[in-house]
Amino acid sequence: MINGVPQLEDLGDVAGKRVLVRCDFNVPIRDGQITDDLRIRAALPTIEWLQQHGATVTTCSHLGRPKGAPDPAFSMDPVRARLAELAPGVELLENLRFDAGETGNDPAFVAKLVEGQDLYVNDAFGASHRSHASIVGPPQSLPSAAGRLLEKEVEVLLGLRNDPRRPFIAILGGSKVSDKLGVINALLDVCDGLIIGGGMCFTFLKAMGHQIGASLCEDDQVETCAKLLDSGATIHLPSDITALGPGGKIGDPAAGGEVRQFGRDLPDGWMGLDIGPGAAAAFGDVIGESRTVLWNGPMGVFEDPRFEAGTRAVAQAVAECRGFTVIGGGDSAAAIAQFGLADEVDHISTGGGASLELIEQGDLPGLDALRHAPNVAG
């Protein structure tokens, strides 16, 4: 066991047993085709271990956000086809969120899931921060364990939280300070510095007294950012900004609007959408000197080629860093894959929200449920 969480070996002899495996197959699909099967491939070590030891495996997962009823747009058929290629003989149930009982943690839905099953394995790290039926329900009645993916994620991320090699730098991006305030406070307790980019940096810049034009800002978080800046913590903010002028449209260069670099002050009507080249270079220097790096959140709207340079530069710096490098899932994972650098980092988490919550709280509902399974409790 790791931190009181049972592993596959703690299930005992699985030969001839029917095992329900909760996976995170929430993969991107475009025009009916999977564009990135990382999460499916990440489940293979667990599935293969169970099959090699004689178990019959049934997998289950959510896909997208259907409204508690069947929706063809979120069918598991593309995932089922890919899984059949990678792991023949493994069954995949239909989208868990086609039933409102999944997100509502309905005991009746849990009973349907576990009917006919002997054992349960949670390998869905990316969903383990949610108290949903398929995450917290089965361990109440079935002997249970963490799968290899969940086990590895916990080992890596709690290692960052509890015993990182120093200096430890965390890079945070994304749009909202409010979404990451808890993890910011948690990281400030354990890391040696924070790099902040993305839309959230403008709330910090406004707290410093800068003019941010039409950039994204959470006015109700300005005072909070000011207190963080005054706390004595090492917080690196962009020294320059790449911005889009009035009339421009994100993702549509043909719509017009000038793109220009500024310092930390933007004119009225201009929207900051990426860190500038000076900030990218400065951030790269900090990353290069670190022995542990955690990155969660892009530096700008990297999906638009006009505003990808900052995120690309940070991705390159993380890839070249000689320290232990972790990508905290979500858009950062998508970015590093887009730039062809996924093989150059030590660990890419499959769960953005889950990785941040584990670092912030030190635990997840899915892990706690496993600790209280019949083969562990008492």
Residues annotated as part of the active site? 39, 176, 330, 353
Crossing angle of helices 352-361 and 177-190, in 10° steps, is: 50
